[in-house]
Amino acid sequence: MIKSICVCGAGTMGTGIAQAAAQHGFDVILYDLSLSMLQQSIEQIEKNLQLLADKQKISSAARKSILEKLRFENSLARCKADLVIEAVVEKIEVKTELFRNLADINGDETIFASNTSSLSITTIARQHPDPSRVAGLHFFNPATIMKLVEVVKTGYTSEEVVQALMTLSRDMGKTPVLCQDSPGFIVNRVARPYYIEALRLAEEGVPYSVIDQLMESAGFKLGPFGLMDMIGNDVNYAVSCSVYEQLGKPERLRPSEIQKEKVTEGMLGRKSGAGYYTY
């Protein structure tokens, strides 16, 4: 049974996952090598919880209790838990090295889960001392609000680990969907045409706002460009490149030069203040 969770990476996703876990009663360690990132994470979580208290969605006592469930660490040696969730940079060598180091620190029962959007969980598992205890646990941004979680199993993942992660997701108030390791898993595989075709139209001169308005009028909560700005163009472009490469570079999924330029120019969306729109 999972009672304690170590989240590695104090960026947007790691911070959101840590807060969501603490809100549902888990003891949480949030690790990052950067003290400034940890400080930003602390401030963000305190701000989020205060907003919930101001809206009377949680009590002041609950806010205090949630904060007491969180521990912030920049020493890997103190990162011991029943479950490790990595939400670090989308580079497979960084993720595999982190898991190997944490395997030396943690016990034989610890589960290792990657929050990667599209990298191969199987490749990560192969480089772990016990591949049977490695799986994907893909949350969506913002992790405190979005209900869906993809539980990604490989050919190595034990049934015990799969069931533990399905139960954990439900205990965190999420809706888990079990899938096999494959390029883009379910959501990012299905979503590629939504983004890519919208970018093709933009390449032909159709304004971003027109495309978004049309898609929203058809029932989508957010148009593709507003959604890419919310996700982050760097993240979205990296996923597009990953899925494109893993599926053998089909022309229909070729990443757009428009998005590549946005990433190169640092126009990442909401988090940078500008993307397809200005914030």
Cβ contacts of 127 within 8 Å, gap of 6 or more = 96, 99, 100
Assess whether 36 carries a catalytic annotation: no
Q: Identify the active-site residue in 48, 118, 188, 242.
A: 188
Cβ contacts of 32 within 8 Å, gap of 6 or more = 8, 9, 10, 14, 38, 41, 74
Q: Does 75 belong to an annotated binding site?
A: no
Q: Does 14 belong to an annotated binding site?
A: yes
Q: Does 117 belong to an annotated binding site?
A: yes
Q: Does 69 belong to an annotated binding site?
A: no
Q: Identify the active-site residue in 115, 150, 240, 242.
A: 150
Q: Identify the active-site residue in 115, 120, 138, 242.
A: 138
Assess whether 117 carries a catalytic annotation: yes
Sign of the C-alpha dihedral, residues 169, 174, 176, 182? Answer: negative
Q: Are 67 and 46 in contact (CB under 8 A)?
A: yes
Q: Does 234 belong to an annotated binding site?
A: no
Q: Are 74 and 31 in contact (CB under 8 A)?
A: yes
Q: Does 13 belong to an annotated binding site?
A: yes
Q: Does 155 belong to an annotated binding site?
A: no
Q: Identify the active-site residue in 106, 114, 117, 236.
A: 117
Q: Does 9 belong to an annotated binding site?
A: yes
| Pair of tokens at residue 266 | 């640092």
The closest alpha carbon to 229, from 265, 256, 269, belongs to 269
Q: Does 1 belong to an annotated binding site?
A: no
Q: Does 36 belong to an annotated binding site?
A: no
Return binding residues.
9-14, 32, 90, 95, 117, 141, 271
Catalytic (active-site) positions:
117, 138, 150, 188
Return binding residues for NAD(+).
9-14, 32, 90, 95, 117, 141, 271
